Chain A
Amino acid sequence: MLFYSFFKTQVGQHVTVELKNDLAIQGVLESVDQFLNFKLKDIKVVDEERYPHMLSVKNCFVRGSVVRYVQLSPPTVDTALLQDAARREAQSTQQMQQAKPNVAPPVA
Chain B
Amino acid sequence: MTDVASANAAAAAGPTSSFSMVEEPLDLVRLSLDERIYVKLRGDRELRGRLHAYDQHLNMVLGEVEETITIVDVDEESNTQSVRTVNRKVPMLFVRGDGVILVSPPSRAS
Contact = CB atoms under 8 A, between A and B. Distances in A.
Touch test A–B (CB under 8 Å): yes
Interface of A: 2-3, 6-7, 20, 36, 64-65, 67-74, 77, 79, 82-83, 85-87, 89-91, 93-94, 97, 106-108
A3 B55 contact: yes
A70 B93 contact: yes
Interface residues of B, number: 31
Secondary structure of the B contact surface, majority rule: mixed
Given A2-B55, A3-B94, A106 B23 contact: yes
Interface of B: 11-12, 15-16, 19, 23-24, 26-27, 30, 33-34, 43, 50, 52-56, 59, 61, 63, 90-96, 98-99
Contacts of B52: 77, 79, 82-83, 86
Contact of B16 (A69, A97, A106): A106
A65 B94 CA distance: 14
Contact of A108 (B16, B55, B56): B16
Given A74-B92, A86-B53, A91-B19, A6 B33 contact: no
A77 B94 CA distance: 11
Contacts of A72: 61, 92-94
Q: Which of B15, B93, B94 has the most CB of A within 10 A?
A: B94
B95 A83 contact: no
B16 A79 contact: no
Contacts of A71: 90, 92-94
Q: Which of B34, B53, B95, B99 has the most CB of A within 10 A?
A: B53
